[in-house]
Amino acid sequence: MGFLDKLKQLVTGKNKKDNDQYLSGFDKTKESFGKRLGGFRLGFKSINEDFLEELMIVLLESDIGITTANEIISLLQKKSKNYVVLNFDEVMDLLVESMAEIYGEEAIEISLSVSPTVIMVVGVNGSGKTTSCAKLAYKYLQMGKRVALVAGDTFRAGAIEQLSMWASRLNVPIIKGKEGQDPSSVLVDGCRYAKTNNIDILICDTAGRLQNKANLMNELSKMKRVLGREIEGAPHYTWLVLDSTTGQNGLSQASIFNEITSLDGIILTKMDGTSKGGIVIAIKNILKIPVLFLGLGEGLEDLKEFDLNMYLYSITQGIKDVKEDGIL
Ligand SMILES: Nc1nc2c(ncn2[C@@H]2O[C@H](COP(=O)(O)OP(=O)(O)OP(=O)(O)O)[C@@H](O)[C@H]2O)c(=O)[nH]1
Ligand SMILES: [Mg+2]
C-alpha cells in the first residue's frame, strides 16, 4: 500500500468531526498545494529536471522554504533510486513520505498533572494570542479542568476588555489589572488567585509588541521570573503564537523569540486563511520547535492539536482529485 493510502487509512479511523475540521481548515492549501501537485500527473514521465523544477516551485509557494524544500527533494531523489520505474502515484507517495520524514515524528505529550499548570502565551501583534488563550481555556474546560485567564497584556488599549469578554463567554475567572500597569504584577495576582482557588490551568495572555530585542527579552524574563517565584516550575509552558499567513517572515519572528526565551511549542494560527500550509514543516525543520496546535478558524472549537498524519492528509487531498484525464 502506498504512503497516501496508508495516511488515508490512519486518519479515517479517527474522530470524524476532527477530520472534517482539519480538512476544511486546510481547504486553501489543498487547492494550491495538493491540486497543483495533482496537475503534474498530466504529462508526467519521470523524476527529471523539469519535474523537479516544477516541484520546487510548488514547495516554495507553499512556504516550505528553500532549505527544507531542498532537503525534501534530495530525500525524494534518494528514495526513488531504489526503483527502476515509478509512476506518478508512486512518486507522490515518496514525496509525501519524504515530507513526513523531514518533519520527523515525535508525539508531544503535554502534561497537565501539576496544579496549577501555568501557560504563558507570547507572540507579536495580532498573531492570535488572545483568541488562542480563549480557545485553550475552552479546550481545557472540556477536559474538566478548572481554568483561569490572566490579562497580561496591559499595553494595548482594549486588550483587557477583549480577554474579559472571552472569560465571560466561557464563564471562567479572569485576573486583570489596569491599562499601563506592570504586566508582571498582574501575573503575580493571577498565580495567587490560582493557588487559593484550586485552579488547574492558568493561561496568561501577554502583549504583542515586538519592540527592540533587549526590551522584549527583559520583559519576558521578568514575567517568567515572577511566575517562577510564585509557583514552582512556572511557567510550565511558554507557547509562541505565530500567524501562518505571515509566511517566512513569521519564521524569522519565531527565531527572534526562540533566541531570547525558551519556547516549548508553537500555536500556528489562521491556517484556514492561507494556502501556504507548508510553513508547518519549515518551522519544525528549521527551528526544531514542535507545532502543538493549529488555529483553523476564529471560533472556540477551531484550535486543533497538531497531528502529522491529519496534516499531511489534509494538504495532499487534492493530488488524487486530479484524474488521469486532468478533469477534477
Ligand atoms: N481565521 C482565523 N482567524 C484567527 C485565528 N486566530 C485568531 N484569529 C483572528 O485574528 C485576529 C487577531 O487575534 P487576537 O487574538 O486579537 O491577536 P493577538 O495576538 O492577541 O493581538 P494583539 O493583542 O493585538 O497583539 C482576530 O480577529 C482573531 O479572530 C485563526 O486561527 N483563524
Ligand atoms: Mg491580544
Ligand 1 center to 127 CA (angstroms) = 6
Question: Which atom from ligand 1 is nearest to the alpha carbon of 123?
Answer: 19
pLDDT band at residue 73 using 50, 70 and 90 as cut-offs: very high
Range of the domain at 43: 16-105+312-321
Total tally of structural domains belonging to the chain: 2
Is 158 or 319 the better-scoring residue by pLDDT?
158
In a domain? residue 327? no
- pLDDT for res 211: 63
Q: Which of 124, 269, 301 to mutate to test the pocket of ligand 1 (most atoms within 8 A of CB)?
A: 269
- Report pLDDT digits (tens) over 19-56: 888 888 888 888 888 888 988 888 889 999 999 999 99
In a domain? residue 316? yes
Nearest to 265 by CA among 241, 284, 239, 247: 239
Q: How far is CA 141 from CA 15, 147, 255, 297, in A?
A: 19, 7, 32, 19
Q: How far is CA 16 from CA 12, 30, 108, 287, 311, in A?
A: 7, 18, 22, 32, 14
* Same-domain pairing of 94 and 126: no
In a domain? residue 185? yes
- Report pLDDT digits (tens) over 201-253: 999 999 987 667 778 788 889 999 999 999 999 999 999 999 999 888 888 88
In a domain? residue 255? yes
Q: What is the CATH number of the domain that holds 228?
A: 3.40.50.300
298 CB within 6 A, ligand 1 = yes
Question: Which atom from ligand 1 is nearest to the alpha carbon of 294?
Answer: 31
CB atoms within 10 A of CB 299: 12
Cell of 300: 472556540
- Report pLDDT digits (tens) over 88-117: 999 999 999 999 999 987 778 899 999 999
165 CB within 6 A, ligand 1 = no
> b or e along 189-206 (b: 16 or more beta carbons within 10 Å of the residue's beta carbon)?
bbbebbeeeebbbbbbbb
* Same-domain pairing of 164 and 191: yes
In a domain? residue 245? yes
* Same-domain pairing of 123 and 139: yes
SS (H, E, C) 45-58: CCCCHHHHHHHHHH
135-139, 203-207, 313-317, 321-325: the lowest-pLDDT one? 321-325
Contacts of 270 (CB under 8 A, 6+ apart): 128, 243, 244, 245, 295
* Same-domain pairing of 50 and 79: yes
What average pLDDT score do residues 277-291 get?
Answer: 89
In a domain? residue 86? yes
Ligand 2 center to 205 CA (angstroms) = 7
* Same-domain pairing of 167 and 275: yes
Q: What is the CATH number of the domain that holds 62?
A: 1.20.120.140
Nearest to 271 by CA among 134, 127, 163, 162: 127
- pLDDT for res 328: 46
In a domain? residue 7? no
* Same-domain pairing of 277 and 299: yes
- pLDDT for res 112: 94
Ligand 1 center to 82 CA (angstroms) = 46
- pLDDT for res 321: 66
pLDDT band at residue 323 using 50, 70 and 90 as cut-offs: low
Which amino acid appears at position 201 of this protein? Answer: I
Cell of 309: 498524519
* Same-domain pairing of 280 and 140: yes
d(CA 161, CA 176): 9
In a domain? residue 256? yes
Largest CA distance in the chain: 69
Nearest ligand to the CA atom of 302: 1
Mean model confidence pLDDT for the chain: 90
CB atoms within 10 A of CB 187: 29
* Same-domain pairing of 100 and 132: no
What average pLDDT score do residues 271-281 get?
Answer: 87
pLDDT band at residue 327 using 50, 70 and 90 as cut-offs: very low
- The structure's pTM equals 0.92
Q: Report which DSSP code applies to 115.
A: S
pLDDT band at residue 157 using 50, 70 and 90 as cut-offs: confident
* Same-domain pairing of 132 and 21: no
The fraction of the chain above a pLDDT of 90, given in percent, is 60
304 CB within 6 A, ligand 1 = no
- pLDDT for res 74: 97
d(CA 188, CA 120): 13
- Report pLDDT digits (tens) over 176-196: 999 999 999 999 999 999 999
* Same-domain pairing of 177 and 48: no
* Same-domain pairing of 85 and 122: no
d(CA 118, CA 121): 10
Give the residue, by CA position, lying nearest to ligand 1 atom 17: 128
Cell of 94: 515518496
* Same-domain pairing of 85 and 138: no
d(CA 168, CA 278): 36
d(CA 60, CA 17): 31
